[in-house]
Structure formats: structure tokens, C-alpha cells
Structure 1
Amino acid sequence: MARSNQLELVQLTKRYGETVAVDDVTHAFPAGAYVCLLGPSGCGKSTTLRMIAGHEEVTEGSILLDGFDISDLPPARRGTAMMFQNYALFPHLNVRDNVAFSLRMKGVDKPTRHKRANELLELVDMGRFADRLPAQLSGGQQQRVALARALVTDPKVLLLDEPLSALDPFLRIRMRAELKKLQRELGIPFVHVTHGQDEALALADEVVVMNNAVIEQAGPAREVFNAPRTEFVARFMGGHNVIATPQGKVAFRADGVRLAGPDAGLPATVTAVEYQGASVALTAATESGEELLALLPEEDFFAAPKSPGEAVRLSWDEGRANRLQA
């Protein structure tokens, strides 16, 4: 059954001398949700995660979990668990003892902690590797062990710092599905830091986009993608065009752009064509120098293919254009 672990940041700030890494951030994370903190390097997402975990001191503001301020508690007493990017497994301990390590530190007896470690290894499909050393495992297997180790303390919130970045693309996609399934089974919030838009859209119930130490936009993944509020969010999420109109800046999806007939649409010159399997990405420059991206269905493009340097006319549904905040 899902538990109501509400994580809340209240005017959270982190300064390093004159540098503000996180600036007065207030946000309530939905209970039992998979949340991705998304943004470019240096935007403050990892610092925010580390403050929640207790690995970074809070300069100002507070972190609430189930209504209690955990800002001054040591990491082990917060009810959170962190899974690190590099997995940080002990090379001299076997898989079972790696998973049971924090229970050992708490003085839990060997049979009890081994029983709990074995249960979690079964949960992440690593039971048969319990006696192996980390060096005898693949990257994906090491990641599952790190996940089991983070969950062994029965945390109220699991924090994941770019957990898939070390994996090859094929394994990354497989592990995404497993993380999502595991989060649903456990019913606790997962807060996952990534700079990959695809990863965030695939995993997140809620996407929190950070930029320049603040939250630029937060909401359901589909809403953030379809209705970006600012130029930064539209460009960072990808798949959008941003242009200036007499009424202000607007964003519209690249998969809604079509090649128009000779008397319709906006004139432009093709600058690049990239085959992507089910679609073809056609980039074109308008007469005013703005660059537009059209994601065209493969069969449409190859019915009348275009090459760089060719003149085209592009159209889109004005009704689906999204007005951006200044």
C-alpha cells in the first residue's frame, strides 16, 4: 500500500561564498510519485538532492518530510536513502554484505541483516549473485546491488543521483523500466536527478526543471513537454521551435511542422536532414535567420525528399502554438 511521504522544500537556499547554488526554492513533491529533477549542469539539481540527503548543509530554509523538519538531522536519521552515480560498493565485501552494511552499522545481528539483504536482492533480481564480489558483476548488476543497499533501511524517500549515466544506452532503457516498476511496487517517492530529457519523460510522474539555481517549471511530464512556460524550458525539453511573433515569443512542437505548398507557409532553406527511423528531422533557416525543426513522418519525407540548400515552405497549426512568458 502506498505511504503518504510528503517531501517539501521551503525557501531552500545553498550558498558557497558569493555563489548561490540553490536560490530560495519552495516545492512540495507529490506523495508516492516518481519525480525527476531535470536541468543542465550547474543548475542546482544535484545540490538540492544532496541537501535533501544530508550530504550538503542547508544555508537557509528547511526540508520537511511527513511534516517534520529534517534539515539538521544526520543522513542516517532522515528517513531518506541515496543511490550514488558511481554506486560506491565496497570492493572487499560480497554482494550480500554490501547490501547489509548499513544494518551492520546499526548493530543488527547477522542472521537478521542477511535475511533482509537476501529479500532485497530477490526484489532487484540479484539473489543468485549474493556471494559474488562487486568486481565480478557487470555495470547493470552493480547498479541493482546499489539500489538494494539504498533500500535496506526502508527509507521514506529514495534519492537517485544520475543513476543511469554509467550504463550503455540499451541497458539504460531496460533499467528505466525496472526503476519505474520498483517505485510503483514500493509506493515511496523517488527523486531522480538527470540531465536527460528522454529519461525524465520516460520515468517521471512529475518533472521539475531547474535553471540558474531556481525551479523554472514543475508539473506532470506531459504538461511540461506540451506547455512549456518559458523559452528555456521549451528549448531544454527539446522537440520544440521557439520564434518571435508580433504578439511575443511562442513555442510549437517540431512534430507539428509540415512541408507546405508553394503558396502557403513560411519560406525557408533546408540546412540539415537527419534520418531517425520512424521520422526525419529537417532543419531549415527562415529569411529572418531563425532556425526551425520539422520532425516529418518517414513516408511523408521520402515521398518528396529534400536536401540541404533547397527552398521549402513550412507550416504549423497556430492553435497549438504555446505563448511563452518573457
Structure 2
Amino acid sequence: MRTGYDLELVHLTKRYGDALAVKDLNHVFAPGSYVCLLGPSGCGKSSTLRMIAGHEEVSEGSILMSGQDISPLSPAQRGTAMMFQNYALFPHLNVRDNVAFSLRMKGIDRTTRHGRANELLELVDMTSYADRLPSQLSGGQQQRVALARALVTNPKVLLLDEPLSALDPFLRIRMRSELKKLQRELGITFIHVTHGQDEALALADEIVVMNDAVIEQAGAARDVWAAPRTEFVARFIGGHNVIALEGGKATVRADAVRISEDTPAATGHGLPATVVAVEYQGASVAVTTRTETGTEVLALLPEEQFYASPQNPGETVRLSWDEGRLHRLLA
């Protein structure tokens, strides 16, 4: 028997005319977890989030919150809150009034709603900015205000639609750590849509990989990374090479690929390939090679190892890996 505010999708489907955006999704989101819906543009992840929020109608299926179908309910009745990609702050309202806006719409008195808004602003470290307008804030500060506004109604589930995409790379890394910390403090479920693999791996207790309107794979972040089930997941999650084998395909992680010089003594040992690109990444060097069959294989080598015997584009090399590092794909 499940407890808490668990959220379940049951045969959830969304059509836009003849186009199928979400196809027969079945999934349970564990209470109090940080979940990332990960996938390329157009895969159905944002449509799924918007159906959970109540901003899109369900074509077929249901959305259950602790066993109750919430799909017929309005967004305000669902126990969910959504933080939009563009933050959607009201430019004419100060920070405090932006955060308190939904409480104002519910008819809550000014003293009470401002008190609650001040609590949330303290939570996101924005108390000193309460009287400023959104135009007087940085992107990261605006995000904190949007987050406080989404949390002001004490939602059971917080829905985040690519909340970090508008931030610069440095601030994006900082803010994702703050999101994770906040989710742990609140203890509620966060469902976060992203197309960034690094973002999903850094944040998620569970990653749900979507492709072409369906769930390709769902599981703990480490499991999805280490054991992709399909070629799509292996390629999309990154860091894996897809290798053709007799009877199917397998992946080998880029950091498991070894490179040696192609000498006469090495003939028959390893897979011959040609170096096509070398990219210095600080602690490691990414070496892209192409085999005789045209397959690209990426090797991620420690900096010291690469520069002890560097390779250059155009040189022939031998690729090898431990057979135990190969992971067979199901599809």
C-alpha cells in the first residue's frame, strides 16, 4: 500500500489533432523525490508536465494523486504548483506582491498573505529584495522569486519547466544545487523538465527518459547512466559508445576505451581506427576516432595519460576495452 502524496500516470495520452504528443504513459513518482523528465525537444515531456499541472487537457487516461483522479480538477484544486520557464513575473508588482499573488486571488487578507510571502522569501534568500520590481533583479534573483511564488500555496508536487535554461552556465550550476537543497528541506516531490543530461544527473533521484511520446527508460540516475537499455538512451544520456556485436548492439563508456599506437606488433589486437578530433577538457582529453566501418568511437582519457603518448588527427590507433565493461542493449 502506497503512502504519502504519490503521483501516478495511468495510460496517459495527449493528442493535438492527429499528432500524438504523449502515448499511453504509466508511471509512479515516489513521494518526496526529485524526478527529471529528460529528452529531446518534441518528445512529450513538457506536454506531460502541463497535463499534470492542469494546463493541458488529458486526451485519454488519468492522473492520480494519492489514488484520486485529479485530471478533471482545475490547476488550483490539484495540490500542484508550476514554475514556468520564463518565470512570468508581473512587472508592475514588487517581489512580495508577486509571491503573494495567488493568495490575493483566493481572497486572503493582506497581512496574512504578506506574512506567508515573507516566509517564502526568507526560504529562498530574497528578503532584502521584497520591495523591488522584477526589472531590478538579476536572472537568478527572478528565478528565486518565481520559485517562492510557486511554493506559497504549500503544493504537494512542484512542477518545473526547464527552470534553469535562461541562466548563464555558472549560475545554472549554482542554482541547481540550491534547487536540490530546497527540495530536500521541503520534502515534497519535484518534477523537473530538462533536455540537459548533466542537469538531470546532478539533480535527480529518478530520471525518466522520454523519446517520441513514450518513456524509453526510468530509474535511479546512476542506473540510467550506467545501464542504458536502448540505443537511444545510451546516445542521449552521453558518455557511451554504441558498438555493433554479433546478435545485437552494446555500449562501452568513453572512459573505458583505451588507445594505443597502431604498430605492426599490435596487428590483431584491438580495433583499428583513425583519430578525427582531439579536445582538451582540463582533467581529461576527449579523443574522437572513426573505425574502418565508419563508426565513431569516443575515448575519454585522463590528461596525464593522453600527454604521455599524445595522438593527433589523422593518425591510426588501436582501440580496446575490457569485455566486462560492455553493456548489451535491449533495443
Percent identity, aligned pairs only?
A: 78
Residue in 2 that maps onto 1:321: 326
| CA deviation profile, 1:41-60 (whole Å, cap 9, x unmatched) | 00000000000000000000
Residues 228-252 of structure 1 deviation map (CA, whole Å, 9 limit, x = unaligned) = 0000000000100001111310011
| Amino acid in structure 2 at the alignment position of 1:80 | T
Answer yes or no: is 1:304 the counterpart of 2:317: no
CA distance in 2, matches of 1:7, 1:277: 42
Equivalent residue number for residue 171 of structure 2: 171
Q: In structure 1, list runs of 5 or more residues that go unmatched.
A: none
Asked if 1:117 is matched to 2:117, the reply is yes
The reply on whether 1:106 has 2:106 as its aligned counterpart is: yes
| Residues in 2 aligned to 1:207 and 1:132: alpha-carbon distance in whole angstroms | 37
Partner Cα separation in structure 1 for residue 162 and residue 179 of structure 2: 12
Provide the C-alpha distance between the structure 1 equivalents of 2:165 and 2:212, rounded to a whole number of angstroms. 22
Q: 1:274 aligns with which of 276, 279, 285?
A: 279
| Paired letter, 1:194 | T
Deviation at 1:30, TM superposition (A): 1.3
Q: Give the corresponding residue for 2:28.
A: 28
| Structure 2 gaps, min length 5 | none
- In structure 2, what is the equivalent of residue 41 of structure 1? 41
Give the match for residue 4 of structure 1: 4
Distance 1:260 1:80 in 2: 55
Structure 1 residues 247 and 319: CA distance shift in structure 2, 3 A: farther
Secondary structure of 2:108's aligned partner: coil
Could you tell me how far 1:265 is from its partner in structure 2? 1.3
In structure 2, the partner of 1:223 is 223
Q: Which one of 285, 295, 306 corresponds to residue 290 of structure 1?
A: 295
Compute the TM-score of the two structures, normalised by the length of structure 1: 0.98
* SS of structure 2 residue aligned to 1:260: strand
- Length, aligned pairs only: 324
1:325 Cα shift? 1.4
- Structure 2 counterpart SS, 1:296: strand
Q: How far is the alpha carbon of 1:4 from its aligned partner?
A: 2.1
Q: Partners of 1:130 and 1:4 in 2: how far apart? A: 34
Alpha-carbon deviation of 1:304?
Answer: 0.8
Aligned partner letter, 1:75: P
Counterpart Cα distance in 2 of 1:217 and 1:260: 35
Note the C-alpha offset of 1:86. Answer: 0.2
d(CA) in 1 for partners of 2:320, 2:284: 17
Q: Where has structure 1 moved over 4 Å in runs of 4 or more?
A: none
What is the alpha-carbon distance in structure 1 between the residues aligned to residue 254 and residue 241 of structure 2? Answer: 6
The 2-side partners of 1:67 and 1:123 are apart by 31
* 1:267 alignment partner, SS class: strand
1:17 shift after superposition: 1.1
TM-score (norm 2): 0.97
Structural RMSD (CA): 0.8
1:94-150 Cα deviation digits (max 9, x unpaired): 000000000000011111000000000000000000000000000000000000000
* C-alpha deviation, 1:305, in angstroms: 0.8
Cα distance in 2 for partners of 1:137, 1:285 equals 48
**Displacement, 1:318?**
1.3
Q: Which amino acid aligns with 2:305?
A: D
Corresponding residue number in structure 2 for 1:212: 212
Letter in 1 for 2:92: H
- State the SS of the aligned residue for 1:86: coil
